[in-house]
Structure 1
Amino acid sequence: MVQKFSNLKYMPLMVFQVILVVLYFIFVKYSDETGYDVKGFEDTHVMIFVGFGFLMTFLKRYSYSALGFNWFLAALVVQWALLCQSFFNMKDNIIYINKISILEADIMSATVLITFGAVLGVASGLQLLFIGIVETAVGCFNFWIVEHIFKAADVGGSIAIHAYGAYFGLGVSWALKRKKATANVPNVPSVDLNGPSYVSDVTAMIGSLFLWIYWPSFNSALTSSNVEYQRAVVNTYLSLASATVTSFVLSSLLSHHEGKFDMVHIQNSTLAGGVAVGSVCNMHITAGGALTIGIGAGIISVLGYHYLTPKLAKIGIPDTCGVHNLHGMPGVYSGLLTVLFASMATSKEYGSELGHIFEGMHDEKLTAGGQALNQFLALIVTLGIGIVGGAITGLLARIPIFTPLKDSETYDDEVNWELP
């Protein structure tokens, strides 16, 4: 009987897939040729399925799950996100989809994959999928608030995607926290699987490099003009480059092993520049400004991994991949930068672009100060929704029907996969 139940445990996801099919038949139609030439879709697709997937293969015995559940989650969430996002923009109860819709759904799936990184190895497959479905619906609602209520500038999603996904993940992690194992607890592995091997760290670098290469496309994909697009690409690339140099130098500086590099920093903190510049990459931040932002991101991220992650674990908020240091704090940093640059925005500097980049300032509806306040409120609301939403979702995910993992099953592919 137990065996039969185990074989059927993912059937609810097939039921959900069928429900999505029905909803698509009822509500979804093809759009006209609008959006067919949108930039960045293919590159973003690679980031979601290859970059995020391989980045999370660093655990010594969890690579099947890192890649497999990344694929499973993203494929499910893209379908669900397209409906959830488009719900707020229906015309005559019809959702018209185009390449932009798919791109936005792909980007929204990044929130779930960021959260996946926070609970990597400690959440069961059913828990992950439940969390992904709930997080997507809440995330689309938050995105609507950021975009339509506050009209916040967030072209690269550092606020609504990175910060939201990271703090939602930390909320889930807190809710799923496990009691500290004692030496007399049976069935606890004698080998600590919560760590890398030489080979797994190399495969994780594949993910890092794919993300690093394609991040300019991710940040610039939703820009509204060629000039804005080019500026976003340049700023993102420069920020990534300076964050990388900073991460290597600071990693060596903080090393307890004669100035050697820490692979955790190199796999992750090198990417923090892409997150930090995301919300401001299409603004007039100057090339020097982009480099400075990247340096700040590298410092924040490496220091976070070195000092903050161990402290979070001690107070019961484990963060397997350190998403707080790659997505959370750099996302908040980017959100605060939008406050600064919005407060300095003028029609003289931006010209006709002003209303496209800062939608709230279109036709002078908001002053620069008003736009800056909206940017700050969008960040605060996002953090609140992410943390509270994640904590509640995590508590619900502890229900036995979602088959929470035992201590002996964490960080181990054998729970979910037929191993060779």
Structure 2
Amino acid sequence: MVRNYCKFPNKFTLAVIICEIIILVFFGVFVRYDWEVGMPKPLNKNYTEVHAKETAEEHVEHYYSLFQDIHIMMFIGFGFLMTFLKRYGFSSVGMNFFIAAFVLQWQTIIHGWIDTFEYYETLIESDFAAAAVLISFGAVLGKVSPIQLLIMAAMEIVFYEGNIKIVIGYIGATDIGDSMTVHTFGAYFGLMVAWVLYKKEVHDAEEKEGSVYQSDIFAMIGTIFLWICWPSFNSGTAVDEGRVRAIVNTYYSLTASVITTFAISSLVDKKNRFNMVHVQNSTLAGGVAIGSVADMIIQPWAAILTGMVAGVVSVLGYKFLTPYLSTRLKLHDTCGVHNLHGMPGVISGLGSILAAGISYPYLYENGLTKIFGDEAMDTSLNYRAGMQAACLGVTLGIAMFGGLMTGAVLKIPIFDHPIGEQIFDDEDYWIIPVDESHHRPAVDGEEMGPTFSKI
């Protein structure tokens, strides 16, 4: 197998420095604190300094605990969930850390430009954007270089924010748990990138694509953190009684997906054993599937049914669909994001169409406008259902188009696509704790040195 040693560092370092300088300049020119937390109060508003202080404090109290939970999901949940690859753990959690931090800055700029410099209320939205990129990362995990990942993140945020502007800003759809705009978008964007970048070499590296006992335990840390914090993700931007419904519905849907995952995982195994891949991922599918309807008035039984359906679909996807996509369609999905985020996200979108179609005003009373917008009382059930259908369709279209375009850019040779033994392997990208008894051959005149022990 071929190793392409040391091509990326200088390019990667240069690209990162340039990106960060650009972001610094853009922040200096375009980003300011709102007047309530650090700017002189506007002359045309009759607010007192005391009122401004109370408003800022209330804003923090309202959002910060939820923001912490969602932040944990991005940096611990997603990061550790991807550590199942036995030789790619450093890149899984490390590049997750790096890319999430980059997106938090870059999305602030892009959001302001696309949303016509409108004030940005909460950093939670930046974490949602990071989630979309990290989901896409899962589809190409182990198969892209650091510089490719940086470029993918930068490009994806542009498409992501454009989609948000269209489906939420113009169409007027609702997606409180972001199952369509984050999970569905991130999954199908990443899948299209993976399809464009597909190389037969990925099958030659199948031995390294697997896990070991310890790596699967580390991945379960990510699962548990995601599972615990998911109600905050789905309720982060909900208001009033809608937030209560979002928390409760997510809670029950997640529990149902856990129970169903264990049952179906045992069923599809010839020896009736549990599969840790299913437990790490499909147990979370209920959180995705309930997202778009989380704050709508659906009874707890509907949330449980949603979680059950998501668990079944996800496990069957890992068992049958993922191998089919890889061998027949040349679409290799490292983390199975299609099964955890893609299909459950579509289920959520379809559920939101149904829920909007029965959103009778008498069910919501004064709460209808809080979910479907100020004009909800003047629109029909079919119109509201149509907005949800349009959101799902447009999101799928933009995600796939954006993924194809991004994949085409990443194929440019200058971006150092991993080859040979670099696939699913940390060795060329990280300083690995060494076993002094193991050495790799010198390459291009470099001195022989220790490397890590192969498992």
Q: 1:230 aligns with which of 219, 229, 244?
A: 244
Offset of 1:179 from its aligned partner? 2.9
Offset of 1:371 from its aligned partner? 1.0
Q: 2:212 aligns with which of 193, 197, 211?
A: 197
Q: Which residue of 1 aligns with 2:234?
A: 219
Say whether the 8 Å CA contact 1:235–1:277 is kept in structure 2: yes
Say whether the 8 Å CA contact 1:151–1:360 is kept in structure 2: no
Q: 1:359 aligns with which of 373, 392, 406?
A: 373
Residues 22 and 308 of structure 1: is their aligned pair in 2 closer, same or farther, counting only changes over 3 Å? same
Paired residues for 1:21-420 under 5 Å: 21-31=24-34, 32=36, 33=55, 35-39=59-63, 40-90=66-116, 96-98=119-121, 100=122, 102-179=123-200, 192-225=207-240, 227-256=241-270, 258-314=271-327, 315-359=329-373, 361-364=375-378, 366-420=379-433
Offset of 1:4 from its aligned partner? 9.1
Say whether the 8 Å CA contact 1:243–1:270 is kept in structure 2: yes
Residues 7-35 of structure 1: CA distance to partner in whole angstroms, max 9, x if unpaired? 45322111111111111111111122453
CA–CA distance in 1 between the matches of 2:369 and 2:202? 56
TM-score w.r.t. length of structure 1: 0.93
What SS does the corresponding residue of 2:32 show, helix, strand or coil? strand
Letter in 2 for 1:26: V
CA–CA distance in 2 between the matches of 1:162 and 1:193? 27
Q: Which residue of 2 aligns with 1:185?
A: none
Residues 222 and 414 of structure 1: is their aligned pair in 2 closer, same or farther, counting only changes over 3 Å? same
CA–CA distance in 2 between the matches of 1:343 and 1:181? 44
What SS does the corresponding residue of 1:29 show, helix, strand or coil? coil
Poorly superposed stretches of 4+, deviation over 2 Å? 2-10, 32-39, 86-91, 95-98, 179-182, 360-363
Residues 103 and 347 of structure 1: is their aligned pair in 2 closer, same or farther, counting only changes over 3 Å? same
What SS does the corresponding residue of 1:166 show, helix, strand or coil? helix
CA–CA distance in 2 between the matches of 1:375 and 1:341? 10
Residues 160-191 of structure 1: CA distance to partner in whole angstroms, max 9, x if unpaired? 00000000000000000003589xxxxx66x8
Offset of 1:87 from its aligned partner? 2.2
What SS does the corresponding residue of 2:86 show, helix, strand or coil? coil
Aligned residues: 405
Say whether the 8 Å CA contact 2:8–2:147 is kept in structure 1: no
Say whether the 8 Å CA contact 2:103–2:154 is kept in structure 1: yes
CA–CA distance in 1 between the matches of 2:320 and 2:6? 44
Identity %: 44
TM-score w.r.t. length of structure 2: 0.86
Residues 69-106 of structure 1: CA distance to partner in whole angstroms, max 9, x if unpaired? 00010000111111212224445xxx6445x1x11011
Letter in 2 for 1:30: Y
Residues 38-85 of structure 1: CA distance to partner in whole angstroms, max 9, x if unpaired? 331010000000000000000010000001100010000111111212
Q: 1:6 aligns with which of 2, 9, 29?
A: 9
Unaligned 5+ residue runs, structure 2?
37-54, 434-455
CA–CA distance in 2 between the matches of 1:3 and 1:280? 48
- Superposition RMSD in Å: 1.7
Q: Which residue of 2 aligns with 1:16?
A: 19
